[in-house]
Amino acid sequence: MRGKFFTAICIPAIFIALILCATPVSADPGWVTTTVSENTTNALGGTISGEYIVFLAGAEGMDRSQNRIYLYAIQADERKIIGSPSANMTVTGPDVSGEYAVWFETPVEDFGTNETDTAPNRVYLYSLPNDSLEIIDTPGTAEWPKVDNGRVLWLNESSDSFNVRIFLYDIGTGKSEQVCELPIIDPAGVLFDGDHIAYLDSAGLHLYSLKTGANTTVFQNVFGNESGSDVGAYALGGDYLIYLRHTVNYEGSEKGMFDEPYLYLIPTGETKRLDPVSGAFSESSKTPAEDEKSLDVSSPFTDGERIGWIYSENTPGSTILLCDPATGVVEKISVDGQADHLSLDGDRMVWVETHFPSFDGDLIFAQENAGSTETVPASGFGTGIGIGALLAAMVLLAGRRKGP
């Protein structure tokens, strides 16, 4: 009888103890990845916005006339070509924001062709909800469009100066106007977000405000006899402008080159240096460690909420470092191949991934997992109850052993 009492009381108590001694804790959420480009094409870069990814892909080799603009609808898991070039032309420079995508068509580089015989550039505007396409630039010399907040920015080289003319097109009204001229040396690298334009000139990295007309120097190039620094790559979003400072030492024991990530806070004008491996802020005057100099750091990115970059440590794989500057929370995503050209939008991102010895890229879409729970030992109220239940079971067991 006493044995049955033990079975009925003590065993459930032990199970209760084990359950209560464990507390649910969020596990590492991770990222779920999918290849969205076709296996017969070479992905050259993509941009993500909400439910849509727009990317550029071409055939193997250098034939840019084979470039195509693709649209991938995430929820529907559908991919289609939305931009194909005309004869002797190529398409490039895709961008997407909200309900619209843009890109431009330009002649294929052919040094044997007379420039007067080539067709003009064309900037295309694609409406995602309507599946409609239109040409929106009238001069035919526009290039490298960007779209944001219902506006399209594009560039026109000036015929009478070294400056580049910047135009804004309002999608709602269908009207365009020139807003400024800037001494841009890399038209393809110009970025547009909100009321700001980020660009490079021969002196460094700058941020132009469409609202105030102020032109701020974020980083000024420095070149000397023994070393020099300039900006290699940069990304703009919200209050953040993140860039890679590229340093070259020509002489001495530190001869070589390396890149360091920096964050410029637009509202305050403050610049902060970031550790390329940990993502933590560090003093700008701090000399990089030798292991930091050996890193290959590339592709800075931001969606205005989080920032990040990609680094590799002389291995076939690479690491995507994702950081929230407001909280300091850092996450690392391991990639088997070499990742590049990353675009982030909230809990989704895309990048181009290559695997040596092939140089052809796959476009990878990654969705942040909602997370799961796992049970791990934890102290607290639940543990106390669990221990009490376990002790009660042990007392009852001891009493059973002393009985006849």
CA dist 245 and 227 (Å) reads 13
pLDDT of 45: 96
Would you give per-residue pLDDT tens digits along the chain (404 residues)? 445 444 444 444 444 444 344 333 333 458 999 999 998 899 999 999 999 999 999 987 778 899 999 999 999 999 999 999 999 999 999 999 999 999 999 999 765 545 545 678 999 999 999 999 999 987 788 999 999 999 999 999 877 678 999 999 999 999 999 999 999 999 999 999 999 999 999 999 999 999 999 999 999 999 888 889 999 999 999 999 999 999 998 887 677 889 999 999 999 999 999 999 999 998 766 666 665 667 999 999 999 999 999 999 877 899 999 999 999 999 999 999 999 999 999 999 999 999 988 889 999 999 998 654 333 333 333 334 343 443 444 433 444 444 43
Integer Cα distance of 404 and 401 in angstroms = 8
The predicted structure's pLDDT at residue 158: 75
- Type of residue numbered 180: C
Give the closest residue to 119 by CA, choosing from 65, 189, 75: 65
Taking the CB of residue 336, how many other CB atoms lie within 10 A of it? 10
CA angle (394, 399, 401) in 5-degree steps: 95
Q: Where in the chain are the domains?
A: 1-27+376-404, 221-335
Cα 144 to the chain's mean position, in Å?
19
* pLDDT tens, position by position, 272-323: 999 999 999 987 666 666 656 679 999 999 999 999 999 998 778 999 999 9
Cβ contact 126:82 at 8 Å: yes
pLDDT number for residue 316: 85
CA atoms of 25 and 217, how far apart (whole Å): 46
pLDDT digits (tens, 9 = 90+) for 215-273: 999 999 998 888 899 999 999 999 999 999 999 988 876 778 899 999 999 999 999 99
pLDDT at res. 366: 97
Question: Are the CB atoms for 262 and 242 separated by under 8 Å?
Answer: yes
